[in-house]
Structure 1
Amino acid sequence: MENPSRTRCSVLIVGAGISGITAAKMLAENGVEDVVILEAADRIGGRIRKEEFGGLTVELGAGWIAGVGGKQMNPIWELARRSDLRTCYSDYSTARYNIYDNTGKIFPSGVAAESYNKAVESAIAKLRNQDSDNSVDDETATGGANINLCGFREKEFLVADERGYEHLLYKMAETFLFTSQGKILDTRLKLNKVVRELQHSRNGVLVKTEDGCIYEAQYVILSASIGVLQSNLISFSPPLPRWKTEAISNIDIMVYTKIFLKFPHKFWPCGPDKEFFIYAHQRRGYYTFWQHMENAYPGSNILVVTLTNRESKRIEAQSDEETMREAMEVLRNMFGHDIPDAIDILVPRWWNNRFQRGSYSNYPIYVNPQIVDDIKAPVGRIFFTGEHTSEKFNGYVHGGYLSGIDTSKALLEEMKAEKERKTESHKSFLLEPLLALSDAVFDIPRQLFLRSSNLGFSEAIL
């Protein structure tokens, strides 16, 4: 009797983020519908995640559609336009004119702009020096080394829609999964399924989940983040080859934390050129970059402060009350001691989320192109996808989207090639007896053949 917890499918996709959903959609459009998607969380979206806060929908993870207005159309922007997703233009460059010191004084715009420009020039000079000192030549350098200064002029739009950024994923999912009243009811999508082990061989992949379920698939698309791949959440049997593990370990994972603070009323300056402001503190990254939500949501009375990496990990380890105390101290340094206390706080914890282990991948400025190839290369029947496999757009939502397309195309080609190999093998199997008979016939002396006028071919006299 078959184990009821064992499921078989042609392709199993681990993860229902932008890459996993896109890959599944591409497979379905090409006739591969025997697909199962396992998602560890209780929702789809991955690092695209909304939450209600202060009466609004805020984005805890990916929040902007970047690279709009460049030479090529951003596919995510196109999806947003089709779905009439509400967005708001963000101009980061205005932050340089809104820099506060710890006494609440704003640096004169000329001084701030000059310091900003010097910092940019210094960074560019540093990159050029690294270029001349680096052993990797221009033709082989890739990833972050492909610096296009014109790219800085591309626009970014904040997603400000009550349906959330994740609405784009639901719109994609409903094209190939059964949905009703905005909910995905298709049994091919399985939530709360934490994959812990992949046993792979030349015949297929056995997938084991934390709740004891077993899935057998001909192929697996693994869309886990680079942070998860670097952790011990998923084990491989046999272990991944050394070239693969080295490539995975060579990519950094960035932690990007947006802390939301709700106030009874606004006390900060507003306006198109006041959306972003900076706190200049002697400790690098200490509650430095601030944004008000009035442009996107007038009357929201919400401030957002962004922390990264070391500071992100630090605040994840402390209580929200302590984080609020620190943030209020900084705000009072900027705007005076008479400002009101925040009435609510929301602190995402991407680093301590074992299903994410960070926010996005970060390629070194100079990265060996072999590492890039190894990151996205399949291991047997396991194919890898995600924003970390996108050479040009790693770290971006459109990078995850495009990687899902690329991975599904590669898998479709492999499935086609395997089918052709099996067809050729089957033909050979059927021809073997005939070939053996032919060999035997050619061993018969020529004079033993007579011509049959009825059948039209030679018959052996045996």
Structure 2
Amino acid sequence: MLRAALLTILLVAFEGHGVMARSKPGPTVIIVGAGMSGISAAKTLSEAGIKNLLILEATGRIGGRIHKTEFAGVNVETGASWVEGVNGQELNPIWNLARKLKLRTFFSDFENISANVYQQVNGLYDATVVQAALDRAVNVSKAAAVFSEALPPSGLEDISVLTFQRLQKHVPSTALDMVIDYSNHDGEFGEPPRVTSLQNTEPIPTFTNFGEDLYQVADPRGYESVVHELAHQFLGFDAKGTITDPRIKLNKVVNRIEYSRSGVIVETEDGSTYKSDYVMVSTSIGVLQTSLIKFEPDLPTWKILAIYQFSMAVYTRIFLKFPYKFWPSGNGTEYFLYASDRRGYYPIWQHVEYEYPGSNILIVTVSDEESRRIEQQPDSTTKDETMEVLRNMFGENIPEPTDILVPRWWSNRFYRGTYSNWPIGVSRYEFDQIRAPVGRVYFTGEHTSQPYSGYVHGAYLAGIDSALMMVGCIKYGSCDVQIEPKA
């Protein structure tokens, strides 16, 4: 009896000093981030039999840059908003998930844009003038695709989109040409043609493989319900559908990853420490370019240089609520452009009367430097600027908005932007380096999907791809990832 009592006391004492905690097996894999790629990777690992997982998410929700926000009585998408690449020869996996969930989606029709382009002042352009400008841009784009496909696959002879425009003697300089150019390029990639790779955007693999149609998500459950659907396939949840699995921890901001040949140690800002055999980092490339997460030892130079060369774009959709509708409605009016002499100044507009009937909401899209500028100013200033533009289009007697929502993805330290853009100068060699693991530290995210970087389906497929690399290492000892030579 005495020996048993002493043993109990000793066990309690050792447990208080962490001995018992160390003797318990830790998770085989820690996943940093519960966005699309992190959840996709975790699901793939679980299906491969690696179920001893721990997901650490910096925010209080899963979904990452797919995020619904309540605005003016409806749930709007402040991050990813479309399923891009539909009705082609291959089935977009995100479209498949959206159909399975019966998400409310709406076809985005840009066919009548020639009748909906506004001058800086003096109302609409003549539709025939706009159509001629659109046709010029389309012809340059077709020529760019032919030129791009003739370039060596190494990417060493890649040029920027703007360089090719110069070769074609078509450098957009008028207000009309600039807004069309912005809609075609910045509106898709979040950055201007002067920094965007030609070889990796002409043609766009997403549309070549999956189809050219786009469907906007406008569902009360939010686009993020696609991520929840994946999570429900391997994490425990209660009768209400709320995830209760202890293998995912929210509000855990990872700020240090120590790695060695024997394992990894992950620390969070609240002082918690977690040990594991491997770690999968699914944060955005924008976060990797900051000092939020300290790697010990430092990542090798080849890895750091590859990360720093890539671009993190900023794409901002600003929401404005009005007391009543004053813009044209009906078929062929949903999207309209504002052609300012200042390129990228509140250029792309959309009413959402189909998606949110009776909401009286307008959305205006900006990107890159305009996004950064707007994020740093008061919303009241942004409201005044948008109203000046709207009055130039629709006259002085339009009402003031009753509410405004300005997402701030660039300012958010957990994202530092919206999605990656493949810039000129980054070849497939650097891309392979971005996705390659460093010892027991693996990386995933839309920025690691070579054909689909920047897209939701890219994040989903990247999670699977990175997880399978890890499975190969854990189960079969295939831990060396081959990187094609630069030449």
Deviations 1:249-301 (A, max 9, x none): 11111000000000011110112311100011011110110000012122110
1:139 maps to amino acid: P
User: Could you tell me which residue of structure 2 aligns to residue 355 of structure 1?
Assistant: 414
Give the alignment partner of residue 2 of structure 1, picking from 18, 23, 45.
Answer: 18
After the TM superposition, list the runs of 4 or more consecutive aligned residues in structure 1 that deviate by more than 6 angstroms.
Answer: 3-7, 126-132
User: Could you tell me which residue of structure 2 aligns to residue 415 of structure 1?
Assistant: 474
User: Could you tell me which residue of structure 1 aligns to residue 457 of structure 2?
Assistant: 398
For residues 264 and 159 of structure 1, the distance between their equivalents in structure 2, rounded to whole angstroms, comes to: 24
Give the alignment partner of residue 66 of structure 2, picking from 48, 72, 82.
Answer: 48
Give the alignment partner of residue 311 of structure 1, picking from 334, 354, 370.
Answer: 370
Higher strand share: 1
1:2-401 → structure 2 map (5 Å cutoff): 2=18, 8-122=26-140, 137-141=151-155, 145-146=199-200, 147-148=202-203, 151=207, 154-180=212-238, 181-365=240-424, 367-401=426-460
Deviations 1:206-241 (A, max 9, x none): 111111000101000100100000011111111111
Please, which runs of 5 or more residues in structure 1 have no aligned partner?
Answer: 421-462
Aligned 8 A contact 2:257 2:295 in 1: yes
Structure 1 residue 330 displacement after superposition: 0.5
2:153 maps to amino acid: E
- Cα distance change, pair 149–211 in 1 and its aligned pair in 2 (3 A): closer
Aligned 8 A contact 1:254 1:309 in 2: yes
For residues 253 and 318 of structure 2, the distance between their equivalents in structure 1, rounded to whole angstroms, comes to: 28
- TM-score, normalised with respect to structure 1: 0.86
Question: Alignment length, in residue pairs?
Answer: 416
1:2 maps to amino acid: G
For residues 64 and 334 of structure 2, the distance between their equivalents in structure 1, rounded to whole angstroms, comes to: 28
1:401 maps to amino acid: Y
- Cα distance change, pair 38–263 in 1 and its aligned pair in 2 (3 A): same
For residues 92 and 251 of structure 1, the distance between their equivalents in structure 2, rounded to whole angstroms, comes to: 30
Aligned 8 A contact 2:145 2:203 in 1: no
1:83 maps to amino acid: L
Deviations 1:141-181 (A, max 9, x none): 38851533793761000001000001111111111111121
For residues 330 and 4 of structure 1, the distance between their equivalents in structure 2, rounded to whole angstroms, comes to: 65
- Cα distance change, pair 331–125 in 1 and its aligned pair in 2 (3 A): same
For residues 311 and 4 of structure 1, the distance between their equivalents in structure 2, rounded to whole angstroms, comes to: 54
Deviations 1:17-52 (A, max 9, x none): 000001111111121111000000110010000011
For residues 154 and 337 of structure 1, the distance between their equivalents in structure 2, rounded to whole angstroms, comes to: 38
Say which SS state the counterpart of residue 249 (structure 1) adopts: helix
For residues 221 and 294 of structure 1, the distance between their equivalents in structure 2, rounded to whole angstroms, comes to: 42
For residues 478 and 363 of structure 2, the distance between their equivalents in structure 1, rounded to whole angstroms, comes to: 53
2:18 maps to amino acid: E
Please, which runs of 5 or more residues in structure 2 have no aligned partner?
Answer: 1-16, 159-196, 480-487
* Percent sequence identity over aligned pairs: 50
Structure index of larger Rg: 1
Say which SS state the counterpart of residue 258 (structure 2) adopts: strand
User: Could you tell me which residue of structure 2 aligns to residue 442 of structure 1?
Assistant: none
2:50 maps to amino acid: V
RMSD, aligned α-carbons? 2.2
For residues 149 and 237 of structure 1, the distance between their equivalents in structure 2, rounded to whole angstroms, comes to: 38
For residues 392 and 4 of structure 1, the distance between their equivalents in structure 2, rounded to whole angstroms, comes to: 47
Structure 1 residue 94 displacement after superposition: 3.0
Structure 1 residue 366 displacement after superposition: 6.0
After superposing the two structures, state which structure 1 stretch, 383-392 or 86-95, moved more: 86-95
For residues 462 and 444 of structure 2, the distance between their equivalents in structure 1, rounded to whole angstroms, comes to: 6
- Cα distance change, pair 226–354 in 1 and its aligned pair in 2 (3 A): same
Aligned 8 A contact 2:434 2:448 in 1: yes
Aligned 8 A contact 2:82 2:216 in 1: yes
Structure 1 residue 365 displacement after superposition: 4.8
Structure 1 residue 127 displacement after superposition: 7.5
